[in-house]
Amino acid sequence: MSVNNVKSMTPKVELVRFPVHGDERGSLIALEGGQDVPFEIRRVYYIYGVSAALPRGFHAHRKLNQILICIHGKINVHCEYGEKEEEYILDSSDKGLLIGSLVWHSMTFIDEESVLLVIADGHYDEADYIRDYNIFKKEEGK
């Protein structure tokens, strides 16, 4: 599915594809807030130099919506919400994983050279994190 069809953050987790501008010089992907990404972009961060033996994440966000893009390498993302438990492989720059609020997620860098780019609709706020799984289940049930 093309990300251009995504108008909102429902469902909570969704794998999307971005349009690639490619020619003999290579490829270019442009992501515009409110268009290619279904929210206004307030923060961009990236994660790299991660050992395959040390998965990251293991938290949910109370309000934050994000899109995860593996711009180099191969990363597994585990997501849990409601009764669902899903695994996604991010291995292409034109693939993005939308993760909405109240999704417990973790990332394993299968390829240790991987770079994970994350686009978010909010500034960094530690109060938005739920880092305890039992608290996540309680808040999710409310």
Q: Mind telling me the catalytic residues?
A: 59
Task: Give the one residue of 66, 101, 108, 114 binding ligand T46; rule: CB under 6 A.
Answer: 66
Residue type, 45: Y
Cα gap 52→19, rounded to integer Å: 29
Nearer to ligand T46, 98 or 107 (CB): 107
Nearer Cβ to ligand T46 (17/59): 59
CB closer to ligand T46 out of 57 and 73 = 57
Write the DSSP symbol of residue 35: T
Q: Are 4 and 35 in contact (CB under 8 A)?
A: yes
Coil/strand/helix, residue 70 = strand
* 84 DSSP β-pair partners: 81
Residues 23-42 that bind ligand T46 (CB under 6 A): none
Q: Which of 118, 122, 139, 140 binds ligand T46 (CB under 6 A)?
A: 118
Residue 57 touching ligand T46 (CB under 6 A): yes
Helix (H, G, I), strand (E, B) or coil at 87: strand
Question: What are the residues binding ligand T46 (CB under 6 A)?
Answer: 43, 45, 47, 56-57, 66, 68, 107, 118, 124
